[in-house]
Structures are given as C-alpha cells and as structure tokens.
Structure 1
Amino acid sequence: MSHPQTMFQLTGRGHAPASLNNATLLIIDAQEEYRSGVLALPGLDPALAEIASLLAAARSAGADIVHVKHLGIPGGLLDPSGPRGRHLPEAAPLAGEIVVEKRLPNAFAGTELHDRLQALGHLDLIVCGFMTHSSVSTTVRAAKDYGYRCTLVDAACATRDLPAPDGSVIAAAEVHRIEMIALGDNFATLVPNAKSLV
C-alpha cells in the first residue's frame, strides 16, 4: 500500500504558506474564558505566547489584523459582559484594529467578517486562536468556501480535553493534533510556529 497523501497533494491545489506582507492575521477567540473559566485550556500559555509573537510581528510589518470575539452566555461561558468574555491582555486589540463579534463557532456565520476581509483585499489568511477543534476548525473550513487561502499556525492554537462516547477522555494535545492533520488535508497550509512566518 502506498503512503497516503493529502487532498492538496492529490489535487495539486495546495498553496505555499502566506507571509505577513500579503495576508491578514486572523486571531480567533483569544479570551479570558480559556485561561480562568470552565473552558481553561491545558496548552493555553505556550499557544498564547505564539499568538503574541504573531501579533507583534504583524504590527511591526503593518499587516492587517482581525480579532474575532465570541459573545457567549450572560453569566456563563464567554460571558459577553463579564471578565471571562474579555480579550486576553497578551492578544488584545489596539485602537483601530478590527474586532468581529460572533455567536457561533464559525466566525463567518451571521457576522461581517467576510465583508471586512474583502475590504482589506487579501485572499490569504494567517489563522490562530482557540479552540482548535471548534471555532478555529469551523472558521478555517468556511474560509475555503469563501475563496480564502488559510495558513494555520500549529503552535498558536490550542484546545481542551474531550469526553469520548465510551467514557474515556481524549487529551487536548491529541484532539489538537488530529484536528490539525484534518485541516491540513484539504483546508489549510500548516506551519509549526510563529517563527515560520517572521
């Protein structure tokens, strides 16, 4: 049996990683919930450091930046009016940077994200944030439907442990790894870390 190939390899439709000179940096749900809330992520700190590096490089390069913020449940997960819904300080937007608010995992659903990206004029997106298997995955998959080319930064994303139907627990690192592999098959070019793009 031959070694499997990605759909990108089989179709010849893969693309080189984007650069901050010709792409928009898209930061998904870098919010306090994932540090101190019910959804605290085991891999948050190293992923957040990578996001902060990407953000600093993007600002230094004058790149376009879009922050996505999830409006969650009042008094609950990602509380839009409480501390758990706030941007993490290390990745918080500066004045003038675009913030798109969403209520579903897919950042394109019911938001102005597509219109804002079209106005910026880049087909290439550099994507990072939380959670890998949920908002990151659904947004990257939807981006392909809109004609964008995503470059996904592995070390700048993280997720949480998940319960399996048999009662076992799938560790966050494994959930993240499998989701990255799936996205790299046909939806995004993968790069290991922020240094790969700066």
Structure 2
Amino acid sequence: MQLLAANAALIVIDMQNGINRPTLGRRNNPDAERNIETLLLGWRATRRPIVHVRHISRSPESIFWPGQSGAEFQPCFVPMSHEHVVEKNVPDAFAATGLERWLRVRDIEQVVIVGVITNNSVEATARSAGGLGFEATVVSDGAFTFDQRDLTGRLWPAEDVHALSLANIAMDYASVRPTAEIVQALNGG
C-alpha cells in the first residue's frame, strides 16, 4: 500500500453494543475489534480525521433503536469530542448523512473503512466511496460478519460471506488490505 495522506480518514462503522448480541449468530474474525482499536489509536496518534458511524434504526424492534443500550458505541469505540459522528438509517454511511460533504470540505480523498457488518454496511459504504471517487480501502481483518442463510435456506459460514463480500468490494470499489499494511502505511513506510 502506498503512503496514507496526512488527512486520510478512518471510517469506523457500527461498532455499537448491539452488534455483540448472541441472537445475530456465529461470526468470523474474532480479532476484528483488536485490529480496529489498533487503527483507531494509530489515527489518533497521528491526528488524522476519524469518522464514527452509528446505525440508528427506524424499527422499534431493532437492537439499534434510539435510546437502547444496543445503539450506543462499545466502550473502546466511543468517539472523542473532536471526532466526527455520522448517524445513518440504512447500510450506506453516505446515504442522506452529509458524509460526502464533510469529507469534501476537508479535501479528504482517502478513506479507510473498518467495522461491521462486512456484507452489509461495510460493503455498501465502500461501494459508495468508490463510486463517488474516493480512494477507498477496506481493512480485511478489521471487519466481520455472521453466518447467513441464502434465499434457498442454505447456511453460509461467516468466513465465506466475508470473503465474497471483500471480493465484491475489491472488484471495482476499494482496495482490500490487512491491518498490518495499514499500520505500516500510517507510520510512513
């Protein structure tokens, strides 16, 4: 990976308490939170911009309904006062949130995307980032998903769902890199 611009933004998607509910099922990448936290600390140390995305559901039955603990950020991902927070109601963090404008006003061209769910909000956001002309990177081990049934009822392991989603992203929208490469780029090398 080439060097990261001094204003490359880290976009942390939906790292909320609700994502840890056992009802969501079995997940992949148990080290994702540690990797995301490593990147978050690196961004803070280098004073690069950070965007925290929070899903606020329109459905009262959702774990992300406003006012419930599930909608709150996980303790290690609580934004600092100077970090930007975007609230979204659909998977794509760019849809009706002002995120594109916030990035453009600051002349931010590079975005690094981490969070959940790989095949939902991460993929939707990466697709928009690439489509809008941002130089986007998704951190392969800084995201995770859950086992998922297809429309025929077949259960797909989270590892396969994750891998296919990353392949979709890499096809046309963003580069896909592991945390170690991003940390190296963050540190100038």
TM-score (norm 1): 0.85
Q: Secondary structure at the match of 1:122?
A: coil
Provide structure 1 residue ranges, at least 5 long, that are not aligned to the other structure: 1-15
What is residue 105 of structure 2 aligned with on the other side?
119
Query: What do the CA deviations read for 1:1-27 (whole angstroms, capped 9, x no partner)?
Result: xxxxxxxxxxxxxxx555263410011
- Give the match for residue 78 of structure 1: 64
Instruction: Give the partner amino acid of 1:32.
Output: N
Q: Deviations over 1:19-60 (max 9, x none)?
A: 263410011111111112633662364111111000000000
The corresponding residue for 1:57 is 42
Size of the alignment, in residue pairs? 182
Task: Give 1:160's match in structure 2, choosing from 130, 146, 169.
Answer: 146
Query: In 1, distance between residues paired with 2:109 and 2:166?
Result: 21
Q: Does 1:139 align with 2:95?
A: no
Q: Matched residues in 1 for 2:41 and 2:31: separation?
A: 15
Is the 1:108–1:139 Cα contact (8 Å) retained in structure 2? yes
Deviation, 1:75, is 4.4
* Alignment of structure 1 residues 16-31 onto 2, 5 Å: 16-17=1-2, 19=4, 21-31=6-16
Partner Cα distance (1:141, 1:31) in 2: 22
The two structures, once aligned, show a CA RMSD in angstroms of 1.7
Change (3 A) 1:44 1:71: farther
Say which SS state the counterpart of residue 73 (structure 2) adopts: coil
> Which shows bigger deviation, 113-122 or 59-68?
113-122
Corresponding residue to 1:104 among 90, 93, 113: 90
Inter-partner Cα distance in structure 1 for 2:22 and 2:66: 13
Q: How far is the alpha carbon of 1:74 from its aligned partner?
A: 3.0
Deviating 4+ runs (over 4 angstroms) = none
- Does structure 2 retain, via aligned residues, the 8 Å contact 1:160–1:172? yes
Query: Any stretches of 5+ residues in structure 2 without a counterpart?
Result: 184-189
Residue matched to 2:51: 66
